[in-house]
Amino acid sequence: MKKTNSNIKTKTIEKEKVVAETINGRFAMLGLMAAIGAYLTTGQIIPGFV
């Protein structure tokens, strides 16, 4: 016997939040790649900062 529950509420995520989190993740990855590139080329995390 299969029970069904008609009182289940589904949560919906707004499209704007999905887009904002996607952009945020991409900028975070870009920053990480920039930090790795700066370290590989100069040997410092922040070039010029002692």
Which pLDDT value is given to residue 47?
76
Burial of 38 (0-12, 13-18, 19+ CB in 10 A): middle
Q: CA distances (Å), 28 to each of 20, 22, 23, 44, 49, in order?
A: 12, 10, 9, 19, 22
- Over residues 20-34, the mean pLDDT reads 97
Q: Please say if the pLDDT value at position 1 is more than 70.
A: no
Span 32-43, pLDDT tens digits: 999 999 899 988
Span 2-17, pLDDT tens digits: 666 677 888 898 999 9
Domain ranges within the chain, ordered by starting residue: 14-42
